Structure 1
Amino acid sequence: MDTKRLILFVIFSFSLLMLWDSWQKQNAPAVAQTQTGAIAQAGDSSVPSAPAAAANQEVPAESGFQLASGQRIQVSTDLFKAEIDTQGGDLRRLELSQHLADSKENQPFVLMNDRNAPAIYVAQTGLLGSNLPTHKAEFTSSQSSYQLADGTDQLEVRLSWVGEGVEVDKIYRFKRGSYVIEVGYEVRNNSANALQPSVYYQIVHDSESNKASAMMPTFTGGAYFTDAEKFKKVPFGDMAKQDLSKSSKDGWIGLVQHYFVSAWIPPAQQSREYYTKKLSDKIFSLGSISPLGTVAPGASLTQTAQLYAGPQTQSTLETVAPGLEYTVDYGWLTVIAAPLFWVLSAIQGVVHNWGVAIILLTVLIKLAFYPLSATSYRSMAHMREIAPRLQSLKEKFGDDKQKMQQAMMELYKTEKINPMGGCLPILVQIPVFIALYWVLLGSVEMRHAPFMLWITDLSAIDPYYVLPILMGATMIIQTRLNPAPTDPIQAKVMMIMPIVFSVFFFFFPAGLVLYWLVNNVLSIAQQWQINRATERAAAKKKGNGGR
Structure 2
Amino acid sequence: MCLKRIFLIFLCLLLIIFSWKQWNISIKNFNFKSVKVSHNLIESSLKNDSQINNVHVKTDVMNVIINLSNGNIKEIKLLQYQEHLNSFKKFILFNKQKTSIYKIQEGLLSNESLKFIDKNYAINFKHYKLANDQKILRVPVEFVSKNGVQYIKNFIFKRGSYDIQIEYYIHNLNIFSVNLNLFGKIQEKFLIQKKKNIFHISSNTNHLSNISYYSDNNKYNKFSFDDIYRGRNIKIFSHDGWIGSSQKYFIISWIMNPKNQNMMHAYYLHDNQVVIEYHTLDISIFSGQKKILRSILWAGPKIQHKMSLINSSLGLSIDYGFLWFLSRPCFLFLNILHNITGNWGISIIIITFIMRFLMYPLTKFQYLTIAKIKSLQPQINTLKEKFKNDTVRLNQFVLKLYKDENIHPLGGFLPVLIQMPIFLSLYSMLVNSIELRHSPFLFWIYDLSDRDPFYILPIIMGITTFYIQKTSPPDLVKNDSRTQNIMNLVPIFLSFIFLWFPSGLVLYYLVGNIVTIIQQIIIYKEFQNIKKNKKNNTILK
Coarse TM-score class (shorter-chain normalised):
0.7 to 0.9
Q: Given that residues 92 and 121 in structure 1 are in contact (C-alpha distance below 8 angstroms), is that contact kept between their aligned partners in structure 2?
A: no
CA distance in 2: counterparts of 1:453 and 1:244, whole angstroms:
48
Q: 1:193 aligns with which of 164, 170, 176?
A: 176
CA distance in 2, matches of 1:262, 1:424: 43
Look up the SS of the partner of 2:251 in the other structure: strand
Asked whether the equivalents of residues 88 and 133 of structure 1 are also in contact (C-alpha less than 8 Å), the reply is no
Whether 1:224 aligns to 2:213 is yes
SS at the partner of 2:284?
Answer: coil
**Amino acid of the structure 2 residue aligned with 1:107:** K
Alignment of 1:181-330 (within 5 A): 181-208=164-191, 220-240=209-229, 241-291=231-281, 293-330=283-320
Output aligned runs, 1:378-457, within 5 Å: 378-382=368-372, 413=401, 416=405, 420-457=410-447
| Structure 1 position 179, deviation (Å) | 1.4
Counterpart of 1:28 in structure 2 is 25
Q: How does 1:479-494 map to 2 (within 5 A)?
A: 479-482=469-472, 483-494=476-487
1:336 alignment counterpart = 326
Q: Which residue is 2:137 aligned to? A: 155
Q: CA deviation at 1:94?
A: 0.9
Maintained 8 Å contact 2:450/2:502 = yes
Letter of the 2:116 partner, please give it.
Answer: T
The answer for the alignment partner of 2:38 in structure 1 is 44
Q: Secondary structure at the match of 1:27?
A: coil
Partner amino acid for 2:347? A
Distance in 2 between residues matched to 1:44 and 1:104, nearest whole Å: 42
Stretch of structure 1 that moved more, 244-253 or 153-162? 153-162
**Matched-pair contact (CA < 8 Å) for 2:24–2:223:** no
Question: Deviation digits for residues 144-184 of structure 1, max 9, x if unmatched?
Answer: 43323343333333334454224433332222222121112
Give the TM-score taking structure 2 as reference length.
0.84
Structure 2 counterparts to residues 446-525 of structure 1, below 5 A? 446-482=436-472, 483-525=476-518
Matched position secondary structure for 1:115: coil
Rate the CA distance shift 1:278–1:132 in 2: closer, same or farther, 3 A: closer
CA distance in 2, matches of 1:330, 1:365: 18
1:98 matched to which residue of 2? 80
- Could you list the per-position Cα deviations for residues 334-376 of structure 1 after superposition, in whole angstroms to 9, with x for gaps in the alignment? 2222222222222222222222221221122112111110011
Provide the C-alpha distance between the structure 2 equivalents of 1:472 and 1:390, rounded to a whole number of angstroms: 36
2-side partners of 1:117 and 1:474: how far apart? 49
Shift of 1:10: 1.1
CA contact (8 A) 1:447 1:457 kept: yes
Task: Report what 1:57 is aligned to.
Answer: none
* Identity across the alignment (%): 28
Given the superposition, is the C-alpha separation of residues 287 and 151 from structure 1 closer, same or farther in structure 2, using an over 3 Å criterion? same
Q: RMSD over aligned Cα, in angstroms?
A: 3.6
Query: TM-score scaled by structure 1?
Result: 0.83
Shift of 1:300: 4.2
In 2, Cα distance between the equivalents of 1:212 and 1:352? 38
Question: 1: CA distance between counterparts of 2:117 and 2:8?
Answer: 57
Structure 1: which amino acid aligns with 2:352? T
Letter aligned with residue 330 of structure 1: Y
| 1:112 corresponds to 2:94 | yes
Map Cα deviations across residues 407-455 of structure 1 (whole Å, 9 max, x no partner).
9x96994894666432111111001110111111111222222222222
Report whether the alignment pairs 1:122 with 2:103. Answer: yes
Relative to structure 1, the CA distance from residue 459 to residue 212 in structure 2 (aligned partners, 3 Å threshold; closer, same or farther) is farther
What's the CA shift for 1:494?
Answer: 0.6
Q: 2-side partners of 1:392 and 1:488: how far apart?
A: 19
Structure-2 change in CA distance of 1:531 and 1:67 (3 Å): farther
Segments of structure 1 that go 5 or more residues without pairing to the other structure are 48-59
d(CA) in 1 for partners of 2:295 and 2:159?
18
Contact 2:66–2:75, Cα closer than 8 Å, also in 1: yes
Say if 1:446 and 1:187 are closer, same or farther in 2 by CA, change over 3 A. same
SS for the counterpart of 1:462 is: coil
Question: Do 1:88 and 1:125's aligned partners in 2 also have CA atoms closer than 8 Å?
Answer: no
